[in-house]
Structures are given as C-alpha cells and as structure tokens.
C-alpha cells in the first residue's frame, strides 16, 4: 500500500502542470516522515535519478522534492543528496528546503530542532567548503536564522560561531547583524559556560584548550564588530567573575591586535566631562 502511494507521488512529479508537481512534492515530504529506512533510501535514490531527466521542469521538481524530504534526512543521507545535486538545481533544492522548514518550524519539539540544526550546520559547512554560491548561501543563512529562536543557549553559541566562521571565509555577515541583543547575550553566556566547562575537563585530563580558545576569540571578534555595547554581569545565569574576566582578557588581546586604545592607554580628556574608559573594578579583581 505504501509502495503504491510513493510511486504515485513520484509519478506526479512529471505532471505537465507546475502547481500539481509542487503539490506532489509537498505530499512526498509529508509521507517521508512515515517511511522506514529502506523505503526512504529508495525514494532518495529515485529522486536523485530524476535529477538527470531530459525535461528541465521535471528536474526542478525532483530537486524541490529532495528539498522537502531533506527535513527528515540524516547527515549521511543529506551528504548523498548534496553530492548528487547539479549546480543549476541548487536554488530549487535550497528554496524548497527553506520553505519546508518554515512550514514545519512551529511544530518542532526539542529533538526535531536539534536534528534540523545539525543538518543545517552540516549543509552550511559543506557549502562553505565548496564553491560559494550567493543564492544558496542566502537561503542557507535564512534557514539558520529561522531555527535560531528554537535553539538552547549552547546551540545558539554554536550557531553564532558557525556564522562567524562563514564570515571569516568571506561569506555573508548579514545574519550576524540581524541577531538580537538578547540572543547575542544568550550565545555569549552559553559560550562562556562551555569554555569554563572545557577548561575544567581539559585540566583534569591534562589537555590543551586551543580549539575552545579559538572559538571564544572568534566570539569576541563578533561581539566587538557587531554588538560592541553588550552588557553582561555576574547576575546573568550564574556567570562568575572568572568567566567575565576571561572574556575581558580576550577583548583586550583583540583590541591590542587591532591597535585600538585600551583601558591601560593614556587618556587625554580635553573636554573634561568624559569619564576615563575602564572596566568595573569589582570584575577586575
């Protein structure tokens, strides 16, 4: 019974009317949630084969269908789809994927949010390492922004770090500039907690902290570039002085690297009513 339904939907992707093809593509996405592993693999392989159809509109329909069902795929399955996707069909795929995510985003539970988050980060990293397609990049970033409100603090921190890595590789800074101050605050607190946790674990195991240090340094670049006036205190979700001092230390290192004035620099207050720039004494102790 299920096999017949799948075959009917796939055959519908060849319909001469675009709205009918899109309807079948959406239905295939819905039914993909109920397929077993073997059935889903067969659907993926059939759709990938359809990307070679001689009719351009049919190829586009297959790409859109892959975009719809990708919300239910594992990283490994996504990699197979991504590797098989021709450049001229990437927009159809990612646009369909983004729309499918938007439609189901209100129904996500924590487990689904984590799966979609991991999948999008995977696709984004894959895209970042391949040729930089601006349309694809824009759709990926839109999808990442869409799920950002569903993330916990640690995931939000990982998302910010990933977007900063994209910006570092000459990808768009747009998504970073649209992150709210509250989300920057959550990401920063999440990052500080993760940094403290990793340092503690590495100390116990006598390991270096280089990877996590690099992430915090990247976070500092983002804060100083996009949200330099962020305000944090020790009342924020049990963040202690050590965590804030660590962040301040990284900020000072970055300021020196950029040759900006630091709180140790000589301050020439020629106007007379501008306070000397300094850190809170309580935090510096």
Backbone angles phi, psi at 186, to 5 degrees: -60, -45
Rounded to whole angstroms, the Cα distance separating 279 from 109 reads 41
Q: Can you give the pLDDT at residue 278?
A: 47
Please, which pLDDT band fits residue 82 given cuts at 50, 70 and 90?
confident
Q: Of 52-61, 110-119, 136-145, 265-274, which gets the smallest average pLDDT? A: 265-274
Examine the pLDDT at 280 and tell me if it is beyond 50.
no
Q: Of 71-75, 110-114, 205-209, which gets the smallest average pLDDT? A: 205-209
Please, which pLDDT band fits residue 133 given cuts at 50, 70 and 90?
low
Strand, helix or coil at 280?
coil
Question: 198-225 pLDDT, tens per residue?
Answer: 877 777 776 665 566 788 888 888 888 8
Q: Can you give the pLDDT at residue 172?
A: 62
Q: Can you give the pLDDT at residue 279?
A: 43
Q: Can you give the pLDDT at residue 267?
A: 46
Are 57 and 18 a contacting pair, CB within 8 Å? Answer: yes
Examine the pLDDT at 43 and tell me if it is beyond 80.
yes
Rounded to whole angstroms, the Cα distance separating 189 from 108 reads 24
Q: Can you give the pLDDT at residue 282?
A: 43
Q: Which residue has the higher pLDDT, 170 or 251?
A: 251
**Which whole number is the average pLDDT over 28-56?**
86
First to last CA, the chain: 71
Residues contacting 258, CB < 8 A, separation 6+? none
Question: 142-161 pLDDT, tens per residue?
Answer: 777 777 777 888 888 888 88
Examine the pLDDT at 241 and tell me if it is beyond 80.
no
Examine the pLDDT at 273 and tell me if it is beyond 80.
no
Q: Which residue has the higher pLDDT, 219 or 242?
A: 219
| Range ranked top by mean pLDDT from 170-179, 240-249, 267-276 | 240-249
């Amino acid at each position: 019974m299920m096999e017949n339904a799948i075959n009917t939907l796939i055959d519908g992707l060849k319909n001469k009317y675009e709205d009918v093809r899109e309807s079948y593509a959406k239905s295939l996405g819905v039914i993909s949630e109920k397929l077993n592993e073997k059935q889903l693999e067969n659907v993926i392989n059939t759709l990938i084969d359809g990307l070679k159809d001689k009719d351009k509109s049919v190829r586009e329909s297959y790409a859109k269908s892959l975009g719809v069902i990708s919300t239910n795929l594992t990283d490994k399955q996504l990699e197979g789809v991504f590797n098989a996707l021709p450049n001229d069909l990437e927009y159809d795929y990612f646009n369909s994927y983004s729309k499918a995510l938007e439609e189901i985003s209100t129904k996500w539970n924590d487990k689904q949010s984590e799966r979609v988050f991991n999948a999008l980060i995977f696709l984004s990293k894959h895209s970042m390492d391949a040729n930089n397609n601006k349309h694809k990049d824009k759709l990926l970033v839109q999808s990442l922004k869409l799920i950002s409100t569903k993330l916990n603090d640690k995931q939000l921190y990982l998302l910010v770090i990933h977007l900063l890595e994209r910006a570092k590789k000459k990808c768009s800074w747009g998504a970073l500039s649209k992150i709210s101050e509250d989300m920057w605050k959550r990401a920063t607190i999440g990052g500080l907690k993760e940094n403290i946790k990793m340092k503690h674990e590495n100390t116990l195991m006598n390991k270096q902290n280089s990877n996590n240090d690099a992430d915090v340094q990247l976070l500092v670049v983002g804060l100083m570039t996009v949200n330099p006036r962020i305000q944090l205190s020790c009342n924020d979700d049990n963040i202690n002085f050590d965590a804030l001092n660590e962040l301040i230390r990284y900020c000072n290192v970055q300021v020196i690297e950029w040759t900006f004035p630091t709180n140790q620099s000589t301050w020439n207050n020629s106007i007379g009513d501008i306070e000397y720039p300094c850190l809170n004494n309580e935090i510096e102790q």
